Amino acid sequence: MRDETFDVVVVGFGFAGGTAALNASQQGAKTLLIEKSSVPGGISICSYGAVRSARDAGKAFQYLKATNGGRTPDDVLRALAQGMSGIEGYVRELAKASGAVVSTSIEDNARRVESATPYNHEQRPVRRVGGNYPFPGTETFYHTTVNEVPGFEAREHYPWANGAPGGPKLFTVLHDNLLAQKVEVRLGTAALRLIAEPRTREVKGVRVSNNGVEHDIYARRGVVLASGGFEGSAEMREQFLEGKPILNAMARGNAGDGIRMAQDLGAALWHMWHIHGAYGFRHSDPAYPYAIRLKRFTDWFPGDSDSVKLKMPWILLDQDGRRFMSEYQPYTQDTAVRPLQHYDPVKQRFPRNPAFMLCDEEGRKLYPLGKATSNDEGLRYVWSEDNLKEVELGILKRAESLAELGRALGVDAAALERSVARWNELCARGRDEDFGRPRGSMMPIAKAPFYGAPVWATLSNTQGGPVHDAEQRIIDVYAKPIPRLYAAGELGSSFGHLYMSGGNIVECFVTGRIAGRNAAAAALAKRSMPATA
């Protein structure tokens, strides 16, 4: 393959890369979008597709500043907040290419109220609008969602995407815009290293590999790295995260490629410790590459735990048979991974990783306890509705008594029985006096047979990566921008302390727009003295 030249090269085809490539092309730049996987979508396509939106940029900034605990500069957060305040209009504009129907959580609540009757309370519940935590500005937030795309069936259009139903709808809307704009997309094309001028580090392009053949693609104006985080790199997880092991829920292709390429040119890093995740099962087939997260529950707001009416049938015990945390935190899928990373310096081990999930027969019958996620060709695991397939596979252990279950799990049977007895006592009182789990979620473990399984700290995605400024320019260790190099999306996310639901999704669109436009507007680079960095 011969060397090629474009104005802008974008690396990674998820929400961030797709948005960056679309905006660069709309600015008149000849744009190439490359993706190393054989399928598009990254982890974006498996998301819920709820784009976090804001009614007021100033209030959104207040909230973001509080949740980031001083780890992200104000101007970067202001740019994200400003983008969030206009994102609903942008999603509606994108939706026109597909004829898609878009709604917001505010509109959905209004319809629920209008359809309610005095005699049918089931029609009345409305979902809380706002952020995840009671920080200043929380009331400004809501979600924007693509509800319907005419003629679109996720299993037909993206058969490899195994996640939530909303992600494929939002992704196909973005994909349709790229097709309409005639942006060139190449799958199965991996970025290897950046091409840069040796003295100034001015980025000139990317060295890529396709079907084992390497060649150079030059970028006259800029390169946007939107290749995600390091979920798929066991080495990077061990180096940057406290707990061990931290399993990956999906996206083995997100191996930190963009992070290393940026580091090669001197990029500073931030938020490398910060991951979004909870806890998950290991498949009994060692060839299955991902952890399987436990069922996702609706988030609840601190101070309003009585609003929780969803039964969570399990508790978690540590390796000594003791309960150690609230299994249902306000945003369980974000922060529940943290307690499992505790290290005991006396016993020289991580006593909560794995932890052990326990439930009874009534809990087993409620709903699927696990939800597998993947975006890989030829890989799709669907958890059974009654959880019995997982019993047969050995993912879940079944026993006729708690003592027998303890022996099957390798946990002291007497300690396990004491912990379950204590839990059932708390359920009878209607209050978790030990860890403050919402009372509406509490459910005793009393009816045989009993079920259990080891569960590990599991990440959904990483937030760390190269530092960037408000213009999405990647910043080096001396606080200087690396010329013509931009970041978008999860590659160096702005979230540095607490995440917010839908935050990475909106960040992909907001930062993708900024990075794509700025890359397209950069002055033309000279082709002289190219060198692989």
What is d(CA 20, CA 2) in angstroms, rounded to the nearest whole number? 25
Angle between helices 15-26 and 503-521 (to 10 degrees): 30
Express each pLDDT in 378-417 by its tens digit: 999 999 999 999 999 999 999 999 999 999 999 999 999 9
Are residues 254 and 43 in contact, defined by beta-carbon separation less than 8 angstroms? yes
Cα gap 275→279, rounded to integer Å: 12
Residue 532 has pLDDT above 70, yes or no: no
pLDDT tens readout for residues 88-103: 999 999 999 999 999 9
* Sequence-ordered list of residues with C-beta below 8 angstroms from that of 521, at least 6 positions apart, any chain: 27, 221
User: Of 119-128, 180-189, 339-348, which range is least confident?
Assistant: 119-128
- For the chain, report the end-to-end CA distance as a whole number of angstroms: 20
Q: Which of 67-81, 112-126, 278-292 has the lowest mean pLDDT?
A: 112-126
**CATH match of 275-459 with 3.90.700.10:** yes
Residue 420 has pLDDT above 80, yes or no: yes
pTM of model > 0.75: yes
pLDDT of 207-249, one tens digit each?
999 999 999 999 999 999 999 999 999 999 999 999 999 999 9
The confidence score (pLDDT) of residue 523 equals 85
Question: Residue 122: its pLDDT value, please?
Answer: 44
Instruction: Please report which confidence band the pLDDT of residue 273 belongs to, taking 50, 70 and 90 as the band edges.
Output: very high
Q: 3-class secondary structure for 267-323?
A: ECEECCCCEEEEEEEECCCCCCCCEEEECCCCCCCCCCHHHCCCCCCCEEECCCCCE
- At 52-61, the pLDDT tens digits run 999 999 999 9
Question: What does the pLDDT read at residue 528?
Answer: 47
In the chain, domain spans: 4-274+463-521, 275-459
Taking Cα atoms as reference points, which of 331, 255, 258, 249 lies closest to residue 499? 331
Structure tokens at 319: 């390796």
Dihedral pair phi/psi, residue 293, rounded to 5°: -65, 150
Residue 124 contacts residue 116 (beta carbons within 8 Å): yes
With 50 as the cut, is the pLDDT of residue 514 above it? yes
DSSP string, 314-363: -EEE-TTS-B-S-SS-TTHHHHTTTGGG--BTTTTB-TTSSEEEEEEHHH
Domain 4-274+463-521, CATH homologous superfamily name and number: FAD/NAD(P)-binding domain (3.50.50.60)
**Confidence check: pLDDT of 121 > 60:** no
- What does pLDDT average to over the chain? 95
Q: Decide the pairing of beta strands 247-248 and 141-148.
A: unpaired
**Tokens 């299994």 map to which residue?**
327
**pLDDT higher than 60, residue 450:** yes
